[in-house]
Homo-oligomer: A and B are copies of this chain.
Amino acid sequence: MRISELSAKSGVAIPTIKYYLREGMLHQGEQTAATRAEYDETHLRRLRLIRALLDVGRLSVASIKKIVAAVEDESMPVHQMLGTAHWALSPAVEPEPGEEWQAARAEVDAFVKDLGWDVHPDAPTRDELAQTLIRMRQLGVPVDLAPYVEVVRKLVSEVEMRAIPFDGPRDAAVEALVLGTVLYGRALDTLRRMAQESESARRMSSPPGQAEGA
């Protein structure tokens, strides 16, 4: 199909498509004449992936480029490719100077070890969790991760990893991992806030006579 049809089918404006082509996020079409290229379903699918990562995942263009590069680099071993894609999904957290950071980071490392989790020593998730622990303590939020560990263990092993086609083509595995992580991450976050609103409303509308009751 022509770029105009690709734009119509994907809902992505032509200048934006050209930007993705220049940035290498979208593979070139087949040049059929000096000023004409043909695009196919793989371009349409890639555009949808990019838009989902931008709109739903709210990832930066830099993160999306890393993910796309990992999908396209056939020489990268599958587990490394998955790791690259996965790490790109982590927000950048700058370690803070000082003992508080070191203590929190050591706590995270011990925590991961105790859980027996196979998480890379340099994984960005370690700094992410360290920062969250520091903020919780600074703000007086009681720290108890146990119920959350229980929940993600169950979700990830019983549901999410079963949806990844580890024995299929490499791009399908990355795509399933990234989309599952981002889209179900968003769904999990939204459903949690829905359940909070519902539970909060239920508690606040308790019978009169109780403090704050409706």
Are A214 and B141 in contact, CB atoms less than 8 angstroms apart?
Answer: no
| Inter-chain contacts of A202 with B (CB < 8 A) | 118
Give the interface segment out of A20-28, A32-40, A66-74, A132-140: A132-140
If over half of A's interface residues share one DSSP class (helix, strand or loop), that class is named, otherwise mixed; here it is: helix
Are A183 and B136 in contact, CB atoms less than 8 angstroms apart?
Answer: yes
- A→B interface (CB under 8 Å): 48-49, 52, 55-56, 58, 78-79, 82-83, 86, 89-91, 112, 117-120, 123, 125, 128-129, 131-132, 135-136, 138-139, 141-142, 144-145, 147-149, 151-161, 163-164, 166-167, 176-177, 179-181, 183-205, 210-214
Are A192 and B188 in contact, CB atoms less than 8 angstroms apart?
Answer: yes
A131 to B57, CA, bound (A): 11
Are A118 and B197 in contact, CB atoms less than 8 angstroms apart?
Answer: yes
Are A139 and B212 in contact, CB atoms less than 8 angstroms apart?
Answer: no
- Indicate whether A125 sits within 8 Å of B158 (C-beta atoms), given known contacts A187-B145, A214-B79: no
| Inter-chain contacts of A189 with B (CB < 8 A) | 185, 188-189
Are B197 and A86 in contact, CB atoms less than 8 angstroms apart?
Answer: yes
CB nearest to A142 among chain B residues: B163
| Inter-chain contacts of A117 with B (CB < 8 A) | 194-195, 197-198
| Inter-chain contacts of A154 with B (CB < 8 A) | 151
A204 to B125, CA, bound (A): 20
13 A-B interface contacts by CB (under 8 A):
A79-B200, A86-B196, A86-B197, A112-B194, A132-B186, A141-B179, A151-B188, A152-B188, A152-B194, A161-B196, A166-B203, A166-B204, A188-B189
